[in-house]
Chain A
Amino acid sequence: MIRVVSWWKAILAGVAGALAWEATARLLIWAGLPMFDIVRLLGTLFVDDGRSWLWWPAGLALHLGVGALWAIFYAYFFWSVLPYRPWQQGLVFAALPALLAILIARPQLELMHVPITRFPWSGLFGLSGGWTGPLSIALGHALWGAVMGALYTRPVGRKVGSERAPKPDRAVPDLIFKPAADPPSLKDFMFATGIECSYPTLDKGSWRVDQMEICGHYRHWRRDLELVRELGISYLRYGPPLHLILLGPGRYDWSFMDQVAAAMQRLGICPIVDFCHFGLPDWLGNFQNPELCHALGDYAGAFARRYPWIGHYTPINEMYVCARLSALEGLWNEQCTDERSFVTAARHLAKAAVLVTQAVRRERPDAIFVNNESSEFYQPCCPDPEIERIADFENERRFIPLDLLYAHPPRDDVRDFLFANGMPKDEYAWFMSQEVPERTILGVDYYDWNEKVINRDGHADAMGELFGWYVITSQYYRRYKRMVMHTETNSRDPSDAPMWLWRQWHNVELIRKAGVPVVGFTWYSLTDQIDWDIAVSRPIGNVTPVGLFDLNRDVRGVGLAYKQLIEMFRDSTTVCPRWGELDETAALPPQPEQEKEAAR
């Protein structure tokens, strides 16, 4: 698939542009100006020139149809390619149909008339009949392009409040409401993928981009689950659409999830259910709302009660990224850009994760929790003390939500930063007094933009893979001492993706040899995603080609490579340690402080 296109929007925009052209041209023709009459040229192909009440609607219908077709082309191939405003993009694009109309279509349409003398022929390439015709055609196209471009915007996503859950189409077996025969365990290494399921809101909470919808999962979810099994994958990171299920306090619509759960059970897929993935239902607003913590806790409890056979959960996906992009960088949800909002979002997310964990454990004491976080690392560009200070702070900030979740005291200056930005001391004490469940896995996500350099201007820029997953994960492991899972990775360059997959896998193998208990590996996601090249900051509809399958559900090279990897390593990759038995002597790379100490 080239791009996700809103067909009805493109058709409406194209028709509106063609109507604007015709209205303007008709008025000018009636005013006696020498405008070229495209509708008459088209209409008289079928109807006698004398009967204007017949050729006008026929010609207009054809004109509108062609306008709509060109608009769909624009939507597929041209929209968002140039960094201009929408009407300007449409105007630039209109040059293409205008040229074809002047040089090819007009003279050929003139030749198609019988007798051909009805319209004076403008020559082989339409330029022999004077400049009035070409000029008015160009003007008509310019008008069409500007109107069409102005109207074709936001092709993906929906106005908040208008989202609809897919309709259930089959009865579900009672089995999905019964506990599994065996408790969840770590007996197998977890080769996993995920269905991309982010659902943040944009434009101050008025527009929702639901990746499951725009990637076609709601239409193809059965096929998607089959594709998971076709690659030999058993574990699937899956985020049920929170905004479609949690309709209000204590009100749930389980219809879609029931269907999916039944299909997963039938196919033998073990889901790792993710309760919150970068968005909230519109009635909860955004991550500045303290009510979300208990609402998510209640939802998680209800979920675990309804599907007692599910044993793997991710309470909240990538809390740090969610807080940062929503409340510090201003891209999603509340779209705030200040430290206080960031701390508030981080507190709420971490508290929600604690409450979700507790709620699930009440229903399912043997549940396994995969707390995944985006592994980040900041490197100062130069020995400037201010730049070094920023990098050092960012390297501590990345741990804030996990520190709160895992009751790990942050560094003193970070704790003071939390207090200074609105964290009540009793809440901090509540976090630090929590008992972290033993059956908890630290999920470490890694992409080639996770390592950043702090430039001279104090801003962070991605610098590609510098130290790699092994080194960054060592920092997280050393801090939290939990079993580890590589919970997300992919490459935006499909030709490099198989190589990237193997690099990540070798990182996993190496760190396992060093003594770190890695229990799973994930290529994220099953299919390509939409607009992740711009962090879903605008609803454009561009495909980010990172999937094991493209959006036509055709396998990519990395899908075949992952299948081969799983076949090769499924039996030989065992999970050695048991809960609570971690290798305290893991041979990890030195910490930055240790390096500094050694240098001194």
Chain B
Amino acid sequence: MSGWPFQGSDPSPLQRPRVAGAIAAGIAAIPAAALVWLTGSARMPAQVIGVPEWLLVLLSIAGLAISGGIYGSIFLRAANDRRGGWLFGLGWGFLTWSLGPITVFQWWIGRPVAVGEHAAWLLAAHLLWGLLLGAVFPLAQNGVKRTIENAPSPREQSLQRRNPQGKAPGRYRRMAGGRDA
């Protein structure tokens, strides 16, 4: 096989695609969850599964954040693509919908989790989530990169641990005092 698509996608030391994916997915899950909540499309799946509606929405946000982390660990630095990222995310949203509420839950409970317009809203919410995940990912990755760049180095961290107040060692203090005097 030539041109394996993920060749060269290894992240650099300044990139954390899993973390960025989870953050982007968490952010993207908020409007998607709002859509499901406002259209009442969470009611039926919640009844079918036997959990309160709010709990299902919260669990879904957590599940989507994990799914976003997996997205980051598969696409790695390629998820930073400003041109194609939204499309990768859209596809991931469709895949998450196909595997999550559809395949796993239908298999588990033996019946559809939603019908009619609620089923359509459920799909729309996943597509919206995926779209936003792909679009937000590069921004989240940039935020993570800035955090890493601004973080103290391991040597600075070690010094900070050993000397939390940042005071000069005793003999230097004496020298400094002497000079002042």
Using a CB–CB distance below 8 Å, which chain A residues touch chain B? Answer: 1-3, 5, 7, 45, 69, 72-73, 76-78, 80-83, 100, 104, 108, 111-114, 116, 124-125, 494-495, 528, 533-534, 540, 542-545, 550, 552, 554-557, 559-560
State which of A1, A80, A111, A540 has its C-beta within 8 Å of the C-beta of B78: A1
CA of A435 to CA of B49, assembled, Å: 87
Given contacts A114-B117, A124-B106, contact A2 B12 (CB under 8 A): no
- A552: B residues at CB distance < 8 A: 77, 80-82, 138
B158 within 8 A of A: no
CA of A369 to CA of B81, assembled, Å: 38
- A125: B residues at CB distance < 8 A: 106
**Chain B interface residue number, banded:** 35 or more
Using a CB–CB distance below 8 Å, which chain B residues touch chain A? Answer: 1-10, 12-15, 77-78, 80-84, 87-88, 90-91, 98, 102-103, 106-107, 110-112, 114-117, 119-120, 123, 138, 141
Which label, helix, strand, loop or mixed, suits the secondary structure of the B interface?
A: loop
Given contacts A2-B81, A113-B116, 14 further A-B contacts (CB under 8 A): A5-B84, A77-B5, A108-B102, A124-B106, A494-B10, A495-B10, A533-B2, A540-B2, A540-B3, A550-B77, A552-B81, A554-B141, A555-B14, A557-B12
Cβ B116 vs Cβ A81 within 8 A: no
Chain B: minimal CB distance from A112 (Å): 4
Given contacts A124-B106, A555-B14, contact A494 B87 (CB under 8 A): no
Chain B: minimal CB distance from A583 (Å): 40
CA of A80 to CA of B2, assembled, Å: 7
Cβ A543 vs Cβ B77 within 8 A: no
CA of A45 to CA of B9, assembled, Å: 40
CA of A560 to CA of B102, assembled, Å: 44
State which of A81, A111, A544, A556 has its C-beta within 8 Å of the C-beta of B114: A111
- A2: B residues at CB distance < 8 A: 5-6, 9, 78, 81, 84
- A45: B residues at CB distance < 8 A: 120
- B84: A residues at CB distance < 8 A: 1-2, 5, 72, 76
Given contacts A81-B2, A552-B81, contact A112 B103 (CB under 8 A): no
Given contacts A1-B78, A69-B90, A550-B77, contact A104 B12 (CB under 8 A): no
17 contacts between A and B (CB under 8 A): A1-B81, A3-B3, A7-B83, A45-B120, A81-B3, A81-B5, A83-B1, A108-B119, A111-B112, A111-B116, A111-B119, A124-B106, A124-B110, A124-B111, A543-B8, A557-B13, A560-B12
- A557: B residues at CB distance < 8 A: 10, 12-13
CA of A108 to CA of B126, assembled, Å: 14
Cβ B87 vs Cβ A550 within 8 A: no
CA of A78 to CA of B77, assembled, Å: 18
CA of A77 to CA of B123, assembled, Å: 23
CA of A528 to CA of B77, assembled, Å: 13
- A1: B residues at CB distance < 8 A: 78, 81, 83-84
**Closest A residue to B123 using CB positions:** A108
